[in-house]
Amino acid sequence: MKRRHFSLCLFALLPPLLLVGLFQLLKSRTDLMARWVSGFMAPVEQFWGRLWSHLPFSVAEVLTALFLAGCVVWLVRAMVLLVRRRELAPFLRRLLALVAVWLWLWAGVCWLWNAAYYAPSFAQRSGLETAPYSVEKLASVTGEFAREAARLSTRVARDGEGRFAEELRDCFDRAVNVYDNLSREFPFLSMESVRAKPLICSRLQSVLGFTGVYLPFTGEANVNIDAPACLVPATIAHEMSHQRMVALEDEANFVGIAACATCDDEVFQYSGYLMGLIHLSNALYAVSPDSWYQISGQWFTPELSRDWEDNNAYWRSLSSPVEEVAEGVYDHFLKGNDQELGIRSYGACVDLLVAYFG
């Protein structure tokens, strides 16, 4: 009986190991990955997204919580049985079963998300070429974003203290139209948009240093609503880009910003220009602080300055070793999928912004 249990556990390990091995063997075949993503992965995940859109909460968040809780209970029970019975075999069986579950999960991640890292990127599909540019060019695009953000900063709702006060629930509802204009320019981004989901555990996301998450197993765009509200609309657009199989984080940032900037909703326009301005300013300040101070002095309105400072203060207050560990784990995940810049790829969207808006 015991040997049969071990045989079953070992047999359960074999299929996911084979699936992961097959993925590693085939991932360099760009043509094959492209057909897989467009022919199976995207339609399946977009169907799931439409299916779960009828529920007001994030199914991904619920499933993640239940899965992690189940793993903890399973492991604790295994350790309790080990202490009580003083038998190693039942503990090892339970441990192997848990390893098998995690291997199946990783196999799913490989074939339902990581495959998109090896298919043609947004830049390749769109033909948007990036090339070296001067500091003056970077300053020019940064100034354009600052000018637009300043103009729009006075056209969004604000509270008595001048803070961004748009109703986020309305933003989630209106976000289904944010890709209408950009999809006409890049038809491969077209899909039946579904409402993004606010996360209940948004504060935990902030502690970990993330503003949103896309889970391929449910096809939902999940957004941290504890983060500064002025950037939530742009974050919604970012996560919705992942539903359109824009996998690379630098490209998802660019696509989300471009979708907001080109849409017909001034709230999303402002949020997109503000997010773009943050990326561009970080790049410009690193090479020419004087140029950045000149731009900020010329264009920053009191409203824009308030949102800028609120965002900086929020993330400063949550800086901790926990965030550094979480970022390190995600950095290794990206590099493990041949994204050489790792988490720094979030800053590489500046090249796309300069190419598109310059």
Res 131: pLDDT: 82
pLDDT band at 265 (very low <50, low <70, confident <90, very high): very high
Evaluate whether 258 touches 280 at the Cβ level (below 8 Å): no
pLDDT tens digits along 205-223: 888 888 999 999 999 999 9
Specify the pLDDT at position 84.
81
The pair of structure tokens assigned to 47 is 């169907």
**Can you tell me whether residue 292 is helix, strand or coil?**
helix
Q: What's the pLDDT at 9?
A: 63
DSSP 3-state of 38: helix
What is the reported pTM? 0.89
- How far apart, in whole angstroms, are the C-alpha atoms of residue 199 and residue 189? 25
- Indicate whether 347 pLDDT > 70: no
> What letter does residue 201 receive in the DSSP assignment?
T
Residues 2-6 have a mean pLDDT of 54
Do residue 223 and residue 326 come from a single domain? yes
On whether residue 305 sits in a domain, the answer given is yes
Q: For residue 126, is it within any domain?
A: no
End-to-end CA distance of the chain: 70
Cα distances from 75 to residues 83, 97, 291, 350, in angstroms, run 13, 10, 56, 45
Q: Are residues 159 and 78 in the same domain?
A: no
Res. 173: pLDDT tops 80:
yes
248 phi and psi angles, rounded to 5 deg: -65, 135
Query: At residue 333, does pLDDT exceed 80?
Result: no
Residues 107 and 137 grouped into a single domain: no
Q: Strands, DSSP E only, in the chain?
A: 197-198, 212-215, 220-223
With respect to residue 127, please indicate whether it lies within any of the assigned structural domains. no
Domain boundary among 87, 117, 147: 117
Same-domain check for residues 18 and 53: yes
User: How does pLDDT run across 116-163, given as a tens digit for each residue?
Assistant: 999 999 999 999 888 888 889 999 999 999 999 999 999 999 999 999
What are the tens digits of pLDDT across the range 64-74?
Answer: 999 999 999 99
Rounded distance, CA 175 to CA 248, Å? 21
Q: What percentage of the chain carries pLDDT values higher than 70?
A: 89
Residue 98 to residues 101, 311, 325, Cα–Cα distance (Å): 5, 40, 24
Confidence of residue 321 (pLDDT cuts 50, 70, 90): low
Domain that holds residue 34: 2-117
pLDDT band at 322 (very low <50, low <70, confident <90, very high): very low
Residue 185 lies in a domain: yes
- 3-class SS of residue 215: strand
Dist CA 120 CA 247 (whole Å): 10
User: Which pLDDT score, from 0 to 100, does residue 114 have?
Assistant: 94
* Tokens coding 20: 């992961």
